[in-house]
Structure 1
Amino acid sequence: MTRPRWGFSLIEVVVVIAIVALLAGLLLSAVQQVRGAAARMQCQNHLRQLALGCHHYAAAKGQLPPGVVIGNGKPEQVPMFCSTWLVHILPYIEQSAVWEQVQAAYRADPSPFGSAHQAVAQVVIPVYGCPSDSRVSSPQVIPDSHLVKSLSSYLGVMGDNYASGDGVLYTDSQVKMVDIRDGTSQTLLIGERPPAANLTFGRWYNGRGQAFTGSLDAILGVREINLRPQGIPDCPRVVYRFEPGDFWDNCDVFHFWSPHSGGANFAWADGSVRWIPYSAARWMPALASRAGGEVVELPE
């Protein structure tokens, strides 16, 4: 008597493999979504800490920190020349030791481009970086200077652009809370924007930006302009708006965007952190101005 042979047919094997592949794909997608959600939440937490640092600074100094200190452009005449708001809030985000390094560097050399500043410029401040961008987790070699610097994922909102002066953190700004007449819950303070693809812009320490305006380094307008050739010569001189970006496109340095899908996190002047979808781009100028009188209802 012949015993029956038990096994799988070719079709059954193919079906099983297909099911396993489908399940693996679904699992991978779920893992990526969880990681993405965790990174987005961590970014929100970072922005909340930075906004709180700005509030503590304002409570101590009577005004919000300057977006970047430029003055007359002469380091020997301008205290803490090219220092950014990210530098000025250091004592208020539990980074007093780094703040002391900054002070020592400026005492040794009033120009932030000197060798006395190189060590502190390489310090990585964890709360300044988005976990979705590995470049901000360690110092990077800057191509234009071949110096090593640390970077930031978060920029102060200048207002409409580098020259408008209608925001909260801009060149030599001295904005008081009472100056934010649109309401602190209706005015942007800080937003997400990864460093430039070629790392030319995005430094937290020496924030000279394009044409010594601070723009692109630690502060940015919501409708920024490329000041060629001081900006990025290969990018068109157009108005850049809030839209998706890419780590490998240098031109995306001119507008707010995030590695998170669909929009970006922003800290508001009241200290809250809220998500803004790219579909709300047309409302950004109104949200970036501190006293424009606009009333905005963001889409969900």
Structure 2
Amino acid sequence: MRTEMAPCFRAGFSRVELAIVVGMLGLVVGFVLPVVQAARADAARAQCQENLRKLGQGCLEFEKANGGFPPRRTGFQSGTKGGWGPYLLPHIGEADLAKSYSFKLDCYDPGNKAAVETQVKAFVCPASPPNRTLTMKSQASGKSENPDKDSLLTVNGGVNDYITSNGLLLPRGGYGLNTGLVDQMISNQRQAMTDDVYLPLAKITDGLGCTLLLIEQAGRPQTWRNGKQQGKDDLFGMTSNARGMWAGYGSIAFGPAARSDGNTPAHGDATDCSVNCNNQFGIYGFHANGANILMCDGSVRFVGDKLDGLTFALLTLRDDGRVLALDDF
């Protein structure tokens, strides 16, 4: 008796068919992945701008309530050591965190540790490197209510990717001469915020829409030059002078760098770089072709990486008397 044989079926693809499928998947990924990456970059840039708008609105609300912008740094002439960040907490939706922070203690004091080590979303650009903290160590200041003035106090504070100015670092030649100012480290009392006191808007005589309030200077405490991380952290180390912690000193001298390496002093000519070359004193964002800045009227601008050093300087000074049009930057 003849036995009927069951028909045979192939269990999978042939090598040729598999190669075709893999090739098609590669093409799809090749088309889709750049689109997804671009969408993520656009979203990060938009959120970064929204953060600055929020901080700008917080500064304006603070000014309305107190008669001036918050101090960029405290502890020089009065108060405990800290910066503008804690002053904004009630105005940026962080009322509970604000209640847990004491201005009677330094920002690195154990009494402020829980608050300061909280990472506040508004202070961090999502395009910047993740998982950063900034270690700050120092003794209690003379104004602090902490009676222990000898012990070394330490916090690992939440970072801040936005900063204001406490001076200008300009080349001694070229456009540096065109500022009409003789000191390379131009007076640090001519910016939108000042030390220890609330600066009234009336002092910003160049116009609120043409004076920098905050810039992106993202990535601290890491050091970045021309898109590459360097092998050392913030040059200010871990002292109370360190920048990059939202509760700490919120200002640094602004200035361009040589585009060639993003590090050596500017030459005073068109080869200098103000944007995305140096995250220690220049404008620096982890965005393609530019970074975000906040003006004193609360408006946010995306400036390209061709911003010249003189315009950067004039935007930083609040009272230089030069008139800038919106298309100048």
Normalising by structure 2, what TM-score? 0.68
Shift of 1:121: 1.3
Q: Which residue of 1 aligns with 2:133?
A: 140
**Counterpart contact for 1:241–1:256, Cα < 8 Å:** no
Q: Is the 8 A contact 1:159 1:285 kept in 2?
A: no
- Aligned residue pairs total 257
Cα 1:241–1:70, aligned 2, differ >3 Å: closer, same or farther?
Answer: farther
| Change over 3 Å in CA distance of 1:236–1:279 after alignment to 2 | closer
Instruction: Determine the structure 1 residue equivalent to 2:142.
Output: none
Q: Which one has the bigger strand percentage?
A: 2
Q: Aligned pair in 2 of structure 1 residues 22, 114: CA closer, same or farther (>3 Å)?
A: same
Q: Which residue of 2 aligns with 1:4?
A: none
Sequence identity (%): 22
Query: How far did 1:71 drift?
Result: 2.0
Task: State how far apart, in whole Å, the 2-side matches of 1:224 and 1:101 are.
Answer: 38
| CA shift in 2, pair 1:123/1:273, >3 Å | same
Which residue of structure 1 lines up, in the alignment, with residue 245 of structure 2? 203
Which aligned segments of 4 or more residues in structure 1 are displaced greater than 6 angstroms? 7-10, 12-16, 143-146
Which residue pairs with 2:160 in the alignment? Answer: 152
Identify the residue that residue 126 of structure 1 maps to in structure 2.
121
| Match status 1:176 vs 2:184 | no
After superposition, the Cα gap between the structure-2 partners of 1:182 and 1:159, relative to the gap in structure 1 and judged at 3 Å, is farther
User: How do 1:232-243 residues align onto structure 2 when only pairs under 5 Å count?
Assistant: 238=265, 242-243=274-275
Contact residue 132 and residue 158 of structure 2 kept, 8 A:
yes
Partners in 1 of 2:273 and 2:193 — Cα distance?
18
Shift of 1:273: 0.8
| Aligned-partner Cα distance in 2 for 1:184–1:70 | 27
Secondary structure class of the residue paired with 1:259: coil
Partner of 1:71: 76
Q: Distance in 2 between matches of 1:172 and 1:241?
A: 31
Contact kept, 8 Å, 2:275 with 2:307, in 1: the verdict is: no
Is the Cα–Cα contact under 8 Å of residues 156 and 170 in structure 1 kept in the other structure? no
CA distance in 1, matches of 2:265, 2:55: 30
What is the CA–CA distance in structure 1 between the aligned matches of 2:137 and 2:85, rounded to whole Å? Answer: 22
User: Which amino acid in structure 1 is aligned with residue 127 of structure 2?
Assistant: S
Structure 1 contact 159–168 (Cα < 8 Å) conserved? no
Task: Specify the SS of the correspondent of 1:253.
Answer: coil
C-alpha change, 1:56 and 1:9, in structure 2 (3 Å) is closer
Cα separation, 2, equivalents of 1:18 and 1:93: 50
Structure 1 gap segments, 5+ residues each: 1-6, 73-77, 208-217, 226-234, 246-250
Question: Map of 1:47-62 to 2, 5 A cutoff?
Answer: 47-62=52-67
The answer on whether the counterparts of 2:294 and 2:301 sit within 8 Å (CA) in structure 1 is: yes
Work out whether residues 133 and 157 of structure 2, in 8 Å CA contact, stay in contact via their aligned partners in 1.
yes
Residues 151/34 of structure 1: CA separation in 2 closer, same or farther (3 Å cut): same
Is the CA contact 2:276–2:291 (under 8 Å) kept in the aligned structure 1? no
In structure 2, the residue matched to 1:254 is: 281
Structure 1 contact 44–265 (Cα < 8 Å) conserved:
yes
**Residue in structure 2 matching 1:34, options 34, 39, 42:** 39
* TM-score normalised to structure 1 length: 0.74
Q: Decide which structure has greater helix share.
A: 1
Task: Say if 1:132 and 1:23 are closer, same or farther in 2 by CA, change over 3 A.
Answer: same
The higher radius of gyration belongs to 2
**Structure 1 residues 134, 296: closer, same or farther in 2, change over 3 A?**
same
CA RMSD of aligned residues (A): 3.1
Structure 2: gaps spanning 5 or more residues: 1-12, 139-153, 170-184, 223-232, 238-242, 267-271
Q: Which amino acid aligns with 1:118?
A: K
Q: Quick check: 2:276–2:282 contact (8 Å CA) kept in 1?
A: no
In the aligned structure 2, how far is the partner of 1:188 from the partner of 1:241? 17
Aligned to 1:231: none
